[in-house]
Structure 1
Amino acid sequence: MKKLYTLLLIGFSCLTYGQINFEPGYFIDNGGNKTNCLIKNVAWRNNPVDFEYKMTENDETKTAGIKTVKEFCVNNAYKFKRFDLKIEKSFEMISRLDTSPEPKWENETLFLKVLVEGDLTLYQFEDGNIIKYFYSSPNSEEATQLLYKKFDNKGIISENSHYKQQLYNLMSNRLTESSDFQNLKYKKSYLVKLFTQYNGNSNKDYEVKHNSGKLNLKVTAGASVASLSLSNSNTYSNTMNYDFDSKTVFSFGAEVEYALPFNNKKWSVFINPVYSTYKNSTQQNEGATVEYNYLQIPVGVRHYMFINDESKIFVNAAFAFCTNSGSVKHGANNRELELGSANSFIVGAGYSYKKYSAELRYNIQHSILTNYTFWDCDYSTIGIMLGYRFL
């Protein structure tokens, strides 16, 4: 347990150390005054109502919000403009569908994310599972929603796809193929492509610099100190308790990691199959031997804290599925006990530099004899897992 507390303390320290990225940007206030500054780039998924900024790297952090700012941009990638608008916020989840095709408008003041800008500008609003798209013409003070609404038509899921007609009316002076609009899906990639095609040379694409998911592939190898104890809780078998010396075990495997497409890829999910072999024996109480070969498949979540563009600290947690083979034998007659399911939890903290990573990983104590009432065989490891990313 002390090992777990130590590892959790390291992870907490890493969380408090993670660097906050302030990047070059600007904002325009209600009076039209433009302020160049450094803005905290949190790679917004949901549309914000405020943001943090500072004038220089060593200056104090300040907050500006939707009441005083009408536009802000960071790193020439994330740009938001404020609008007083009408928005229709229907859900697309089947369990929450409205029964009417007619929009229910609400008046709101929102920062809309600019996706592409040009002769026609495309915006996105996102709030949890609600995603809506808007457009405006150059220098317009208004943004109009592209209307799409799913509804429940007496048990049949139907769609109000008025956005197709809206876009045809807007773009038919340049885009004459009706199929460009008839087959158009209410999805970001489809709309960005259409607006880019319409804008031509006037187009400026912000969306291309937004976060997208990234797949990483690694090979891994590790060395750990394994602890194992074998005991029988039957009060009549108090001589059947065995303590094994700590043993070094080696592992090798591969990892597939997917960096999630928001918050500057600070969160990821991973799967890391590793194979290990543990062999040990003791002469205590007429002797016992353990041979434990296992394929462990941790599936978990990881959080990164960036130091700079090449270095980052991370913490992770996973549930590890396990398939195993081998045996536990004890006593003068070498009585054999059958291994059972050995799923467990894993926590870790580490450091990544370019393509290389090193992680301190703790496989929390768990039993590898789960088919017996009185027998228990507790196994745990703590050690270093090294990785090399080749993709």
Structure 2
Amino acid sequence: MKNFYTLLLVLTSFISYSQITYKQGYFINNNGEKTTCLIKDMAWKNSPLDFEYKLAENSESITATVNDVAEFNVDNSYKFKRFNLDIELSSNYVDKLDVTSEPAWEKKTLFLKVLLEGDLDLYQFEDGNIVKYFYSADDKQTATQLLYKKYVVDGMIKENNNYRQQLFNLMRDRINTVNRFKNIDYKKSSLTKLFSEYNGESNNNYTLKHNKSKITLKFTPAVGFTSFAFKNAVNKTYNFKMEPSQTYSIGAEMEYTLPFNNNKWSLFINPSYNIYNSSYKNRNYNVETDYKFLQVPIGVRYSMFFNSDSKVFINGSYNLNFLTGNSKITYNNSELEIGKNSSFAFGAGYGFKNYSIEARYILDHSILGPYTVWTSEYNSLNVILGYRFL
């Protein structure tokens, strides 16, 4: 297993080193001067306070802040504009809700992500779970927040939906149906659709080039190289190390790619049916292990893309293991119960188009039932083949 950890360390270092991607862009400084440069593409989820750029491919990286730059654009995809504005920063988390519908305005200097440009511009501010939307009209030098706030009155959650009235007042010269605004959600998808409808031919939708979440499905057969040992703390003669053997599994993986940081992060669940059989013999004992289980890893994955077809990745997961069938350990005329258990795993792999191969190491864990004197160590290095069919 030492070689596996070495491989994992090398891949992690390589991925970390290779992630610095600079793309063509520009920024405008406080004097209105435009500089064409290479900007580090972070595919931002949260609104940044600074960014890194290079004047040439081999030059040193420079950091520019919100105090230095009025606007910057990366690859004509992610565009941010600076505003001095009033912002209401209330959270939608139930345990953090305010007790009044009135906004508590704060003066801030912020980069807002440009979602749409046209006769009316739409912007987004995001910081963790706080997401706020703004618009600009006329000279586009100011940004006004579309006000939405959850609050609590007498233990009941209520909403200040003032943004709907704001939208009607803004757009009634072209969209004069009140019902069009009555139930519109305070969400990016709903607001971009409405602003696009209002802007018509003047509309420039940056969100079409932003990272999108997606779900993929894989078929994942695997073979594992497994070690298993168990012993009794009282009777030292009961110390058994099974012959190394193989496990076989068949499973499927669902992966959800997160819509930020250039789709490098994803979540996955990879249930599989596994069979492990092994034996141990000496002059005194004949030991047999029969272990059938459903393993359900739930994990996070980080990918580094060489191009649209090729990537390497690392992942970590927490595995829930459920018994199926009659799983047990027998030694001579005695029997031990195998119990429901859990484990941690780390993996590294390579993907090409619809295919992938991964080495995933399942760390030592006990598979025995609730015994006080019996302990066990079970680990496995699995080679997982993947075929993406959706």
Scaled by the length of structure 2, the TM-score of the pair is: 0.94
1:3–1:338: structure 2 CA closer, same or farther, 3 Å change rule?
A: farther
Structure 2 CA distance, aligned partners of 1:14 and 1:223? 27
Range with greater deviation from structure 2 (41-50 or 59-68): 59-68
> Deviation of residue 8 (structure 1)?
4.8
Deviates more, 1:25-34 or 1:52-61: 52-61
Match status 1:303 vs 2:302: yes
User: 1:10 Cα deviation (Å)?
Assistant: 3.9
For residue 75 of structure 1, what is the aligned residue in structure 2? 75
Matches within 5 A, 1:280-291: 280-284=278-282, 285-291=284-290
The 1-side partners of 2:157 and 2:285 are apart by 71
The letter of the residue matching 1:263 is: N
Query: What corresponds to 2:252 in structure 1?
Result: 254
Q: Please list the CA deviations of residues 243-265 of structure 1 after superposition, one character each: whole Å capped at 9, or x if unmatched.
A: 22211222221100101122111
State the shift of 1:38 in Å.
Answer: 1.7
Cα separation, 2, equivalents of 1:152 and 1:243? 61
Compared with structure 1, are the counterparts of its residues 59 and 243 closer, same or farther at alpha carbon in structure 2 (3 Å cutoff)? same
1:197-216 equivalence runs, <5 A: 197-216=197-216
Q: Distance in 2 between matches of 1:78 and 1:377?
A: 53
Aligned match of 2:181: 181
Letter of the 1:279 partner, please give it: N
The aligned residue for residue 159 of structure 2 is 159
Q: CA deviation at 1:286?
A: 2.4
Task: Tell me the alpha carbon deviations over residues 205-255 of structure 1, each in whole angstroms, 9 at most, x when there is no partner.
Answer: 011221221101111122221111132211xx2222222221122222110
**What is the rounded CA distance, in whole Å, between the counterparts of 2:384 and 2:170 in structure 1?**
57
The CA distance in 1 between the partners of 2:328 and 2:151, in whole Å, is: 59
1:172 is matched with 172
1:116-170 superposed Cα distances (whole Å, 9 cap, x missing partner): 1100001111112211111112542111111222222333322222222222111
CA distance in 2 between counterparts of 1:283 and 1:151 reads: 69
Matched-pair contact (CA < 8 Å) for 1:11–1:348: no
What is residue 120 of structure 1 aligned with on the other side? 120
Secondary structure of 2:197's match? helix
Paired residue for 2:370?
Answer: 371
Mark the CA change 1:96 to 1:376 in structure 2 (over 3 Å): closer, same or farther.
closer
- Alpha-carbon distance in 2 for matches of 1:2, 1:373: 31
Paired with 1:41 and 1:16, the residues of 2 have a C-alpha distance of 15
- Corresponding residue of 2:33: 33
Identify the range of structure 1 (267-276 vs 373-382) with the bigger mean alpha-carbon deviation: 373-382
Unaligned runs of at least 5 residues, structure 2: none
Residue pairs, 1:209-224, within 5 angstroms? 209-224=209-224
The whole-number CA distance in structure 2 between the counterparts of 1:129 and 1:143 is: 21
**Structure-2 change in CA distance of 1:375 and 1:35 (3 Å):** same
Query: 1:14 and 1:252 mapped to 2: Cα distance?
Result: 31
Indicate if the aligned counterparts of 1:232 and 1:376 stay in contact, CA closer than 8 A. yes
Mapping of 1:1-391 within 5 angstroms? Answer: 2=2, 5-6=5-6, 8-234=8-234, 237-284=235-282, 285-324=284-323, 325-331=326-332, 333=333, 335-391=334-390
Tell me, which stretches of 5 or more residues in structure 1 are unaligned? none
Whole-Å separation in 2 of the counterparts to 1:383 and 1:20: 31
Cα contact 1:114–1:206 (8 A) shared by 2: yes
> Within 1, Cα distance between the matches of 2:247 and 2:179?
62
**How well do the aligned residues superpose, as a CA RMSD in angstroms?**
1.8
Letter in 2 for 1:49: L
Which one-letter code corresponds to 1:327 in the other structure?
K
Residue type matched to 1:305 in 2? M
Counterparts of 2:18 and 2:383 in 1: how far apart (Å)?
Answer: 21
For residues 323-375 of structure 1, the C-alpha deviation after alignment (integer angstroms, 9 at most, x for no partner) is: 224221112x3x22221123211111112222221111111112221232222
The one-letter code matched in structure 1 to 2:25 is: G
Call closer, same or farther: CA 1:12–1:216 in 2, change over 3 Å. same
* 1:43 and 1:211 in contact (8 A); partners too: yes
TM-score (normalised: structure 1): 0.93
Q: Percent of aligned positions with the same letter in both sequences?
A: 51
**Distance in 2 between the 1:27 and 1:8 partners?**
38
User: Relative to structure 2, which stretch is displaced further, 216-225 or 369-378?
Assistant: 369-378
Larger RCO: 1 or 2 (CA < 8 Å, sep 6+): 1
- Give the Cα separation in 2 of the matches to 1:120 and 1:114: 11
Distance 1:371 1:275 in 2: 23
- Number of residue pairs aligned between Structure 1 and Structure 2: 387
Equivalent AA in structure 1 for residue 242 of structure 2 = F
Look up the SS of the partner of 2:221 in the other structure.
Answer: strand
